[in-house]
Amino acid sequence: MVSDSIDGSKETAQSHTPPPTHDAAPADGATEVPADDDGLDLSLLKKKKKKAKKAEDDEEPAAAEDANDGDAAAEEGALDLTLKKKKKKKVTKETEDDFAKKLEALQLEGKEGEEPVAAAAEVDEQDGDMEKGTGIWSHDENKIINYDPLLSRFFVLLTQKNPDHASSGSKSYKIPPPQCLREGNKKTIFANIADICKRMKRTDEHVTAYLFSELGTSGSVDGSRRLVIKGRFQQKQIENVLRKYIIEYVTCKTCRSPDTELNKGENRLYFITCNSCGSRRSVQAIKTGFSAQIGKRKKMQG
């Protein structure tokens, strides 16, 4: 129907364009349409008149749209003479309250054909009463509850009973990606190390030492607290190393919370204390390990 109407509107536009003698084009369409439809359907005609009045009240573009709609409905009558009057009436009703109509139709279909849809609708109706314990949620109710409402009930209860759990689940641990710049050809500048260390609550020195030992290089800190690393490194590579650092030195192994503190305990051992679950574990000190001499010959010569 809709496609028909669209086609019709186009055709009407074409057919109407030559004759117009009035001032405003949209007003023309609206006024002329009833004239065309006079002999066909009285009900339609009445509709048209109302619409035309509305169009006059409204602004011009809106009026044009209304007129087109009217044309569409009218043209169906005009072009499809074979169509029964019932259909025309349906069209007019749709223009009146098409949404309500469609909804009704949908509901009818659901009730006739698909049982689950109907069941879902019923459940939806009763869903609001969950907290009060009425409807399907009442204690002595024997109706089978569908999966979806049960699932939603589970999550509602979960968030109600332990809010911290839900909050920790939703809030992921985020660290800004490392910003890597190239200084010259052989050095990489890790620009936002201070920011990242602040987020992780670790000292710059500790992170720097870990980075150097993992990357097997050395480097220095420049004036604006940026880290200058010897060697070419991509942002992704630094990110990987940072991930390793977070797993090893930041996250709590018991509750996986990143909210931890690194302290120097007795006997030169480093301990991680978790702020959320209170567990304490020792971590290995950063070892540099073996690093091969690079550019030995140069040094020997110089």
Q: Which residues are at the interface with other proteins (CB under 8 A)? A: 186, 213-217, 231-234, 236-238, 240-241, 289-292, 294-295
The contacts of residue 181 (CB under 8 Å, 6+ apart) are 188, 189, 191
Give yes or no for a contact between 249 and 283, defined as CB atoms under 8 angstroms apart. yes
The contacts of residue 237 (CB under 8 Å, 6+ apart) are 215
Q: Which is nearer to other proteins, 289 or 302 (CB)?
A: 289
Query: In angstroms, rounded to a whole number, what is the distance separating the alpha carbons of residues 186 and 233?
Result: 9
The pair of structure tokens assigned to 50 is: 């109302």
Q: Which is nearer to other proteins, 25 or 209 (CB)?
A: 209
Q: Write down the least CB distance from residue 263 to other proteins, Å.
A: 22
Q: Which is nearer to other proteins, 134 or 291 (CB)?
A: 291
The pair of structure tokens assigned to 170 is: 């939703």
Amino acid at 2: V
Query: In angstroms, rounded to a whole number, what is the distance separating the alpha carbons of residues 15 and 35?
Result: 14
Q: Which is nearer to other proteins, 135 or 231 (CB)?
A: 231
Query: Mapping DSSP to helix (H, G, I), strand (E, B) and coil, where does residue 162 land?
Result: coil
The pair of structure tokens assigned to 215 is: 């990357």
Query: Mapping DSSP to helix (H, G, I), strand (E, B) and coil, where does residue 290 land?
Result: coil
Give yes or no for a contact between 221 and 209, defined as CB atoms under 8 angstroms apart. no
The pair of structure tokens assigned to 271 is: 């301990």
Give yes or no for a contact between 242 and 178, defined as CB atoms under 8 angstroms apart. yes
Q: Write down the least CB distance from residue 125 to other proteins, Å.
A: 57
Q: Which is nearer to other proteins, 27 or 241 (CB)?
A: 241
Q: Which is nearer to other proteins, 14 or 185 (CB)?
A: 185
CA of 264: how far to CAs of 64, 271, 274, in Å?
78, 6, 14
Q: Write down the least CB distance from residue 212 to other proteins, Å.
A: 11
Q: Write down the least CB distance from residue 203 to other proteins, Å.
A: 21
Q: Write down the least CB distance from residue 287 to other proteins, Å.
A: 9
Q: Which is nearer to other proteins, 137 or 212 (CB)?
A: 212
Q: Which is nearer to other proteins, 99 or 290 (CB)?
A: 290
Q: Write down the least CB distance from residue 180 to other proteins, Å.
A: 11
Determine the length of the chain. Answer: 302
CA of 6: how far to CAs of 1, 10, 14, 76, 210, in Å?
9, 6, 13, 10, 69
What's 114's DSSP letter?
Answer: -
